[in-house]
């Protein structure tokens, strides 16, 4: 990989995506520095998940996406998996699979074809399960977990993958406010300790602003605003693009967005 000083973790140039005959992304540009946390917001259907899928290489967009200086289409699947890990908005839960086996899927890029997981792979899995407050969950069947527990298992799989770029599509939407904070604090701590880069989408705008270095407001498949939480979370922009009546009040870690009734 051709990383040098100043090479961004993510570089998206003029990303256009058409799905089912409709233009979903209409020329999106985005640069994310190594170690940065960027959160993409925008109304339902704005194209947030589509953008994350393209950045993760789950959607073909030749020439539009580079990760750490390498065009994503020239990374082989296994190499890509060591670079970028995605937690999808609603991951498929394989029937009958245990938590341990599910999180072990994150180690696939390190396991030789037709080989078995090593002791190091298992150790990595147990370590993330502990970190995510899931010790003893390994033998449980994934389908029997609560929404919040399952969400933490999805994150565990991504962390076990050991990728330096994490793409989190609404990672906290199934969580109560306590677990939301716990998961986001953990991601932020890991980011600092391991120089991870985080690109997330989130619907809770106050929470989004508290954890993001920068925010991108996506609307109708285009970038409507990009900048610090203070620059993006304004009453004017949110009224215009969400048709929402909100008050924005200053908070310690970023603006707090409070919905208020229109009349």
* R_g of the chain, CA atoms, integer Å: 19
Q: Please, which residue, 47 or 255, has the CB nearer to ligand ADP?
A: 47
Q: Is 40 helix (H, G, I), strand (E, B) or coil?
A: strand
Q: Does 46 bind ligand ADP (CB under 6 A)?
A: yes
Using N-to-C axis directions, what is the helix angle for 147-160 and 177-194, rounded to 10°?
10
**How many binding residues for ligand ADP (CB under 6 A)?**
12
Q: Would strands 197-201 and 37-41 be described as parallel, antiparallel, or unpaired?
A: parallel
Residue 37: CB minimum distance to ligand ADP, A: 19
CA distances from 23 to 20, 41, 220 (A): 8, 19, 9
Q: What is the closest distance, in whole angstroms, from the C-beta atom of residue 47 to ligand ADP in the complex?
A: 4
User: Considering only residues 131-150, where is the footprint of ligand ADP by CB under 6 A?
Assistant: none
Question: Alpha carbon 155 to chain centroid distance?
Answer: 10
Nearest CB to Mg ion, comparing residues 47 and 209:
47
Residue 49 found at the interface with Mg ion (CB under 5 A) = yes
What are the start-end ranges of the E strands in 150-245?
165-169, 197-201, 214-219, 222-227
Residue from the set 10, 12, 38, 49 that interacts with ligand ADP by CB under 6 A:
49
Residue placing its CB nearer to ligand ADP in the complex, 47 or 57: 47
Asked if 70 interacts with ligand ADP (CB under 6 A), we say: no
Distance between CA atoms of 64 and 68, rounded to whole angstroms? 13
Using CB under 5 A as the criterion, which residues of the chain lie in contact with Mg ion when the complex forms?
Answer: 48-49, 89
Using CB under 6 A as the criterion, which residues of the chain lie in contact with ligand ADP when the complex forms?
Answer: 19-20, 22, 24, 42, 44-50
């Amino acid at each position: 990989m051709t990383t040098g000083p100043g090479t961004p973790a993510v570089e998206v140039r003029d990303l256009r995506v058409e799905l089912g005959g409709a233009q979903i992304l209409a020329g999106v540009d985005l640069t994310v520095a190594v170690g940065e946390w960027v959160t993409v917001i925008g109304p339902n259907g704005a194209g947030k998940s589509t953008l994350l899928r393209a950045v993760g290489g789950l959607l073909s967009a030749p020439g539009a996406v580079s990760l750490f200086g390498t065009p994503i289409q020239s990374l082989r699947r296994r190499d890509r998996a060591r670079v970028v890990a995605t937690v999808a908005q609603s991951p498929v839960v394989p029937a009958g699979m245990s938590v341990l086996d599910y999180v072990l899927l994150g180690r696939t890029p390190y396991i030789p074809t037709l080989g078995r997981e090593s002791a190091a792979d298992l150790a990595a899995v147990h370590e993330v399960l502990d970190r995510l407050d899931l010790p003893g969950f390994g033998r449980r069947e994934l389908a029997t977990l609560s929404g919040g527990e399952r969400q933490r298992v999805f994150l565990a799989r991504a962390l076990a993958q050991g990728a330096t770029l994490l793409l989190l599509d609404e990672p906290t939407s199934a969580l109560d406010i306590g677990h939301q904070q716990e998961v986001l604090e953990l991601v932020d701590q890991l980011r600092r300790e391991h120089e991870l880069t985080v690109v997330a989408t989130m619907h809770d705008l106050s929470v989004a602003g508290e954890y993001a270095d920068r925010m991108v407001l996506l609307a109708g498949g285009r970038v409507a605003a990009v900048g610090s939480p203070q620059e993006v979370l304004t009453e004017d922009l949110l009224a215009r693009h969400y048709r929402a009546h909100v008050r924005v009040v200053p908070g310690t870690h970023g603006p707090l967005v409070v919905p208020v009734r229109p009349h």
